[in-house]
Copies of this chain bind each other. A is one copy, B any other.
Amino acid sequence: MNFQKERSERIAQIEEIIKTYLPPEEGFQKTVLEAMNYSVLAGGKRLRPMLMQETFRLFGGRGGAIEPFMAAIEMIHTYSLVHDDLPAMDDDEYRRGKKTTHAVYGEAMGILAGDGLLNLAFETACKSFPGEDQEMTDAERAAQFARTAKALEILGEKAGVYGMIGGQTADVEAVDKQITPELLDFIFRLKTAALIEASMMIGAVLAGASSEEQELIRQVAEKVGIAFQIRDDVLDVTATTEVLGKPVHSDERNNKPTYVTMNGLEKSVADVDLLSREAMEKLSALDRRNPFLEELLLSLIAREN
């Protein structure tokens, strides 16, 4: 397997799936629709939908029920960036080398486009419910509804105040402050790991994984998510702007406490390694394998940008 080539192909496939759920840019509300599409199509690694799809495959999932959720998680990730870039938040003019949404469409449209994407995420996820015309027994129908409902609940919980928004809140308040290791761990688990957990858990749930398997996958995702965020802090110190595609040393400039400032570079790098090994060990406890997923998880943790 040529991992990089396969990954690029899958990104292209995922972008096609996401596009089918984006709104046409027409009507009196055209501006917000343009701003939403601009935000989602500004690039990115499509990591969360990819993790979702590969976990779905790991558990033998088939059919299109996963696709609305793949689009939904990317919409939620995108809205969080749009709102995070606003002047009252991180005040960023560029992301991935492109103007941020509010820098192009104005601050009011930045707010509304973020709201629009968050709302559209739930609208889109609802498209995964079985249609009235799908032929199945009442028991199958009830089971499929229950799985989609469970996936929606996970999406809501991990994106909300006990997930990403909660982490964002603590992160915003941590600027210019001395923080404890417990608080930094909280921020990493909620701000970054929660959406990774949601991605992988929803893949598992929609493929029919057992509760035990769902919990194991959650733990794998949590470790990967925390390692991913520590790696982010490391790259902010060690990478160049060219390789990273965004300004380096931004944490220092914004007076944000990071894993590196609290633990030093050496321990940070070692902890990324430790967490990733723990995650892979957990994953290998399953009696199923998805080699692409394994390579993907390792690549996230070893990434250079």
Contact = CB atoms under 8 A, between A and B. Distances in A.
Interface of A: 23, 27-29, 31-33, 36, 79, 83, 86-89, 106-112, 114-116, 118-120, 122-123, 126, 129, 132, 137-139, 141-142, 145-146, 148-149, 152-153, 156-157, 159-162, 165-170, 172-173, 183, 186-187, 190
Contacts of A106: 88
Oligomeric state, in copies: 2
Nearest to A27: B166
B165 A115 contact: yes
Given A119-B159, A129-B153, A148-B149, 7 more contacts: A28-B170, A32-B169, A86-B88, A114-B115, A129-B149, A141-B145, A142-B145
Contacts of A156: 119-120, 122-123, 126
8 contacts: A23-B161, A88-B111, A89-B108, A119-B160, A120-B156, A142-B142, A145-B145, A148-B149
A122 B169 CA distance: 20
B29 A119 contact: no
B31 A173 contact: yes
Contacts of A141: 138, 142, 145
A119 to B, nearest CB: 4
Contacts of A148: 149
Given A28-B183, A28-B186, A126-B153, A160 B120 contact: yes
B88 A165 contact: no
A115 B129 CA distance: 25
Contacts of A166: 27-29, 32
